[in-house]
Structure 1
Amino acid sequence: MNVADSEIITSILLKKGFILSNHIENAKIILFNSCSIRKKSELTIKNQIDKIKYLKNNGSLIGLIGCFSKSFKESLLNEKKIDFFINPDSYREIENKIYNKNIVKNFYKRKKETYENIIPYKKLDKKITTFLSITRGCNNMCTFCIVPFTRGREVSNNPFLIVEECKRLQNLGYKEITLLGQNVDSYYWIDNNNLSFNFANLLELIAKKLPTVRIRFSTSNPHDMSNEVLKIISKYDNICNHIHLPVQSGSNKILKLMNRKYSREEYLFLIKKIRKLIPNCSISHDIMTGFCNEEDNDHLDTLHLMDEIKYNYGYMFSYSPRPGTYAYNNLIDNVPKNIKKKRLQEIIKLQNEHSLYRMKEFLEKTQKVLIEGTSKKSNNYWYGRNSQNIVVVFPKKINLKIGNIALVNVKKFTSSTLIGEAIK
């Protein structure tokens, strides 16, 4: 999401006559696109700002943009680490903010800002995969999450403009597009004539209009994922067989405290439907450990759920309170740090075992791999991803190039990578 927003901001500034600098020391305006999902993200931003604050002596301005909490913004302003800030719904006002940096108040925020008429800036490089936002904001109000307060309520982009942008990206040479939203499955658009589109309708429209482009999407909220979406995925070959499905916890008690609108049982039932309708689908997760009032039994519930599903991979982290959220204001962060660390290590260890289990399923099978570039570990190997979003590397023995689809027979694997040979 931050990559997509940075492209929008760059496009706005270029149209206003600003010039994109090739090096930070030459820049007179330095923008940090922030994230406040976890405390670690904010600490990273602060550290990065500290590293370049000497440039302010040369007259450079430092601005904070993106997803940030009120307290984080105010601390940076009070410490004079930044000169100005601008919220995600106010990017159109960024030029005014730059020239009126001493005005601390927020600029006008559009309630339904989607930046539909702004063409995101794309670098002229060899990348063949890209991102495209289809929704902004979130309505779910999970008790641990700052997003509804920083990015606002959910709004969906015009489906026909989304398709036009997908076609533009295809013409630029992109072979894979990831549709983005805090919750893509709740995508809903309706016009003045009551013509409406849900996420399944949008997926099918894009799949039909761009049959040679791979389509991915992220992120899905379990309580919004429909049978209709699953059937569309199974129907079209160019929609990738991978679903990122955050669970956060395997405990019903914790899910309720988090205000996640599904139970453990409902989540497992959804997994079974996915396996039935899309047999080759990979499933990844987000899991948060150490949330308020989490006890050993709740942690075991999460481990047991992981054992039952055996995810392909996941993103695992411990809970950190975010100022402004319901959990911060009304619940107690009462799980000690050492317990959080221990539980997180157990979750990561178990996921590594499950990842190996899932990777073994690809052994001696042929994968369609979209070549994205040269492997970071060896110039003699290509790397790409299969439909299941698994990284595949293989020797450059056959005359192939970036953007080609290679048929690769898998010979070895690690917990995160498939290793094989291209079939001529």
Structure 2
Amino acid sequence: MRIRAAIAEETSKPLLIEEIDLDEPRHDEVLVKMIAAGICQTDAHVWHQHIPTPLPVVLGHEGSGIVQRVGAGVTTLKPGDHVVMSYQSCGHCEPCLRGHSPYCDHAMAANFSGLRLDGTRGLHRGARPSGEIHGHFFGQSSFATHALATERNAVKVPDDVPLELLGPLGCGLQTGAGAVLNSLRVPAGASIAVLGTGAVGLAAVMAAHAAGAGTIVGVDVNPERLALAAELGATHTLHARQVDVAGELRRITGRGANYVFDTTGRNDMLQHAVEALAPMGQIGLVAAGGPEATVAVSMLALGKSIRGIVQGDAIPQLFIPQLIQMYRSGQFPFDRLVRFYDFEDINDAFDAAAGGGVIKPILRIAADDITNKGAK
């Protein structure tokens, strides 16, 4: 079928929207009409080739839409279902079988190769001399009017919640909230510092507030985002360029933070995190730092630990409905982070995110009355 898709043709060159061909769903796939898609920093990293997914490629991995057709082997989804699409995993390796699909042995191939795991592709440019086009980004490539997904990464969601709002739950917001609720398991009364108050960090702040954390410190260099962090549950905020971050965190918490969640990937922030950590405290990292990001082993004495976190250790079919319920109850007001853009304005949306003026851009891809159905 013919679809319209935003294509990253060359490194950092403007995305181009054009018509391409999309295969019919295979036996294990679903065809989804895209209603909206969030823009995540990972999309930008691939577009700028900081992550080496082959170009040209259709990006997008925070999609929401409506199932149109399903393959013969699909049993849990049907046409008309509202879905949010998340990361892809194989379902067969040891981590997947143990319930740790974010750490799938085939995660890079499943999410970043531009191909299905069997090496095929469902996006085509026909006879154009520029050749084939890569897709299946995070098992979806949702910067398009239609996308192919599977039961593993398409999550049925209630049809009385605005579908255009829900896409970011599939990656960025899931990562931040899941890091607090699933990975670190922050208990009531604990202290946590969140380094970086973008979409992932603010999701962590909201989750920590919902979990009943006693002290929640947001750290950033953007005053507007720090102000929003305070509104969303941070008990304290720190401007990283104006204070001694580690010193202030120790002063605020009294003995050091029980948990530090770093979304920045910066070496200086990692050093602050370790220095501010209480004995037996834990640091969670979601951003890959550069080669200079090192920590002396001696700094991890007294039971301190650091761990990497992928997708907030979330199983999407379980965690995305949990986040929707938290949203409905007022505990996770992520609608305050978003700004909507028309699909044709995708480059403006990326520019706004890069400039820091917008926390979570969402592309409206298809207009549909049902996207306005329901409320919190």
Which range, TM-score by smaller chain? under 0.3
More helix by share: 1
Return the index of the structure with the highest Cα Rg: 1
**TM-score, with length taken from structure 2:** 0.27
Higher relative contact order (CA 8 A, sep 6+): 2
